[in-house]
Structure 1
Amino acid sequence: MKPSENERFTKLLREAAEECRRLGYRPTKFLQMLNAEGGYVTATKLLASPKISDGFTELQLLGKLNLTVEALVLENGWAEYFDPILVDQAKRRLSAARYVPKLAPSNATSAPVALITDDSQVSTPDKIDETALSDGLSKVLQGYLSAAKEPFSKHVLANFIRGALTDLVANLLQGYAPNLEVKGSAGQGVWARGPWVGIFDPLVTISAQSGYYVCYLFKEDMSGVYLSLNQGMTEAKKNYKADAKTSLAARAQNFRAMLGSRVSAELVTEIDLAPSAANNDTAFYEAGNICAVFYSAKSMPGEATVREDLARIVSLYRSLIEAELAADSALDEEGDLPPPSMLEDGTKFRLHKRIERNARLVRLVKQSKPSNCEVCGLDFAERYGALGIGYIEAHHLRPVSSLKGTKAELDPLRDFAVLCSNCHRMVHKSGLIDDLERFKREHYHG
């Protein structure tokens, strides 16, 4: 992008920031980035980040996604200045937020190939076919050992793992599992002994530290890669200390029992990540494996097989979530299961409860709504003083059946209510979890 073009683009972003201020949102950090680095670098960093920015979330709540960097790039003719991977990232984020950008003709005559990552540095990883996941895996297997001898910061292959390869997996999942999040890592400040690309259901976990998830795990010696249904070993280390591996292995066995015959004979239940030391992360991932498929660096299967395996392991992931929900008897003991006639089955009820307990969603809901119960009007601060300030419970309104096969991006304003503890329990007991008005008519006598 030429300096004169960057000035025009920077001006556009400043005008959007000023409009945000008029709406009551002050994008302080965004303006600091603009002042320090200009429009192109600022936009590229935000688009390349594996997480959406706080500004995107704020503007979504305000119903002003047209003021996000993603929309400004797509709708004002600037898309061709950015790497196609970043343009696709912008489109996916807006699509997940149910915003359809009005694509504008391009201002540019040529597009840069640079990709800026969270290391704040331009790099130019080799291009690969968006559909060639097998090629992406091979690229890591062939280049990682030599790359790991070089400085980690700003390295092309590290950028590729957490950028292009992660996007490649996410693109393939869009057709059948758009609710899953994908993240990749080659290390934190230094090279990881075993890089990974993880696939997470936000209702279970959003990181490799806890819960269970699907993950491409590369062997330390780069002789192959596993597609594994695995577990968060950081959580196990914290809770079980020296017995973490034993705990992971026992839990893996229990998960396999839940899946039963769905864990077919060709899937491996023991994996070898060639750990160079017993306390390496790779050794704990070995213990955490539930089931996996293996690809040798010397004989990577064809693209069709790699895609089929991804769909199969993701399907097992979903089956495990459903099996765990069905086996969760703790919620039954709470005494708030609705009458059978009011809800399709207990599994859906438990999924509904899991959504309500998702810490990230609860935080967004409480930030987006007043603290008064939407049934009885109780404000805990009025009754309990400082102790009750901000205290309220999040209640999921959207029918669980409507989430199946869709992008599970839940809107804190539209898809949730805030309820006091008593009303929350009674709403669940009534079965009218998605109809508070009817609940108030038929059951509330305040």
Structure 2
Amino acid sequence: MSLGHALRRIVEEYPLARTDPPAGHPLAHVIRKGAPDELRRALAPLDGPFLVKGSPGRGSHWAAVPWLAVFDPAVATSATRGYYLVYLFPAHREAVHLSLAQGTVAAIREHGPRSGEYLRASGARLRERLSDFSDVLPVSAITLGSAGELPEGYEAAHILGLTYDLADLGDERRLRADLATGIAAYRALKARGGLDGNVSAQCRADQ
């Protein structure tokens, strides 16, 4: 299995998989284990450290939007806060988004009903700071086709990235090159001060 094959399986099989319980489901195993393993292999030439996680949901419930994420442990170890690189699988189309994203749950807890407004404003500022990536990661807004606090939060938390249709997932070389670009943007954001723009504060947090 390659990274592209793993992504394609999730895109194609998730809608039907959600009609069955997730416990013991083969696709849940792919999202938690198989796809993260392929992503780790693709990341190997990029000199981590990286923490890779995949989530099909929690407990007995499938997620409205499954995800496969890469974390710099010095910045974040979960999708709750900080910022990270993530593949998001929309519910309304056969596609996958590669997104440099802000942590969603912490923003929802802190800002409540205004979290979407806060995240979009923050994302706009971060895109300006990463303007040198605008040509190679040109997608500045994503849609996930699912109502709810988390899917809408993921949409608002997006900074920049790419969108792949099914046909694009057969090009493993492109997927790996784009992943390297996404990691470069992730590292650039860290070097430029993270979410608050304060380089010295970010450096202290990394120590």
Q: CA deviation at 1:152?
A: 1.1
Contact 1:185 1:195 in 2 (8 A): yes
Name 2:180's counterpart in structure 1.
Answer: 311
Structure 1 regions of 5+ residues with no counterpart?
A: 1-127, 332-349, 357-446
Partner deviation per Cα, 1:293-326 (whole Å, 9 max, x = no partner): 1111254351111111100011100000001169
| CA distance in 1: counterparts of 2:157 and 2:142, whole angstroms | 9
Cα drift, residue 355 of structure 1: 2.6
Q: The residue matched to 1:174 in structure 2 has which SS?
A: helix
Amino acid at match of 1:297: L
Contact 2:75 2:206 in 1 (8 A): no
Cα deviation digits, residues 398-419 of structure 1 (max 9, x gap): xxxxxxxxxxxxxxxxxxxxxx
Shift of 1:330: 7.2
CA distance in 1, matches of 2:180, 2:125: 22
Counterpart in 2 of 1:198?
69
2:189: which partner in 1? 320
Match of 2:12 in 1: 142
Q: Cα distance, 1:250 vs. partner?
A: 0.8
- The CA deviation at 1:202 is 1.0
The correspondence of residues 283-362 of structure 1 with structure 2, limited to 5 A, is 283-324=152-193, 327-328=197-198, 331=201, 350-351=202-203, 353-356=204-207
Q: Is the 8 A contact 1:255 1:290 kept in 2?
A: yes
Deviation at 1:257, TM superposition (A): 1.4
Give the drift of 1:147. 0.7
For residues 198 and 319 of structure 1, the distance between their equivalents in structure 2, rounded to whole angstroms, comes to 18
The count of aligned residue pairs is 205
Q: 1:162 and 1:137, CA in 2 relative to 1: closer, same or farther beyond 3 A? A: same
Percent identity, please. 30
**C-alpha distance 322-141 of structure 1, shift in aligned 2 (>3 A):** same
Q: Check whether the contact 1:215–1:230 (CA below 8 A) recurs between aligned residues.
A: yes
What TM-score does the superposition give when structure 1 sets the normalisation length?
A: 0.44
Letter in 1 for 2:66: P
Q: Is the 8 A contact 1:161 1:184 kept in 2?
A: yes
Quick one: structure 1 residues 143 and 323, their matched pair in 2 at CA, closer, same or farther if it must change by over 3 Å?
same
Query: Counterparts of 1:10-49 in structure 2 under 5 Å?
Result: none
Counterpart CA distance in 1 for 2:179 and 2:136 is: 17
Measured after TM superposition, the shift of residue 228 of structure 1 is 0.5
- Provide, for residues 228-249 of structure 1, a one-character-per-residue CA deviation record: whole Å limited to 9, x for no partner: 0011110000000010000110
1:177 to 47, 52, 55: 47
The 2-side partners of 1:214 and 1:172 are apart by 14
1:152-185, CA deviations, whole angstroms, 9 ceiling, x for partnerless residues? 1111100111101001101211211321110000
Aligned Cα root-mean-square deviation (Å): 1.8
Q: Kindly indicate whether residue 35 of structure 2 is the aligned counterpart of residue 165 of structure 1.
A: yes
TM-score, normalised by the number of residues in structure 2:
0.93
Deviation at 1:266, TM superposition (A): 5.5
Give the SS at the match of 2:96.
strand
Q: Could you tell me how far apart the structure 2 residues matched to 1:192 and 1:273 are?
A: 12
Using the alignment, how far apart are the partners of 2:117 and 2:47 within structure 1? 32
User: Any idea what the Cα deviations from partners look like across 1:216-266, whole Å, max 9, x if unmatched?
Assistant: 000013510001001111000000001000011011111111112222265
Superposed CA deviations along residues 309-360 of structure 1, whole A, max 9, x for unmatched, are 10001110000000116941775xxxxxxxxxxxxxxxxxx52x2134xxxx
Change (3 A) 1:244 1:165: same
Residue aligning to 1:48 = none
Indicate if the aligned counterparts of 1:208 and 1:232 stay in contact, CA closer than 8 A: yes
